[in-house]
């Protein structure tokens, strides 16, 4: 399988993101870029602060609610 169609598709996708045609599309690109920066900043912070999120049964229970038993 050739890599050329995949590379061309990715290039077209990135090109569309760099020059969106409408004001709404430009706003969406700005918001997505801001979210990407926020996620990258959080990952750098958690990596260098050596923080690990504790996930146990109690945390999942608080998030999803109690499990229903059949």
Give the tokens for residue 56.
């146990």
In the chain, what are the domain boundaries?
A: 4-64
Place 62 in a pLDDT band, splitting at 50, 70 and 90. Answer: confident
pTM of the model as a whole? 0.50
Q: Name the least confident of 1-10, 33-42, 47-56, 61-70.
A: 61-70
Percent of the chain scoring above 70 in pLDDT: 90
Per-residue pLDDT, averaged over 16-43, amounts to 88
Cα–Cα dist 16/32, whole Å:
14
HEC string of the chain equals: CCCHHHHHHHHHHHHHHHCCCCHHHHHHHHHHHHHHHHHHHHHHHHHHCCCCCCCCHHHHHHHHCCCCCC
Q: What is the pLDDT of residues 11-24, one digit of tens each?
A: 888 888 788 788 89
């Amino acid at each position: 399988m050739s890599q050329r169609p995949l590379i061309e598709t990715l290039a077209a996708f990135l090109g569309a993101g760099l020059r969106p045609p409408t004001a709404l599309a430009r706003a969406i690109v700005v918001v997505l870029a801001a979210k990407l920066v926020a996620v990258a900043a959080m990952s750098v912070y958690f990596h260098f602060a050596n923080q690990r999120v504790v996930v146990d049964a109690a945390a999942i229970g608080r998030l999803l609610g109690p499990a229903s038993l059949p």
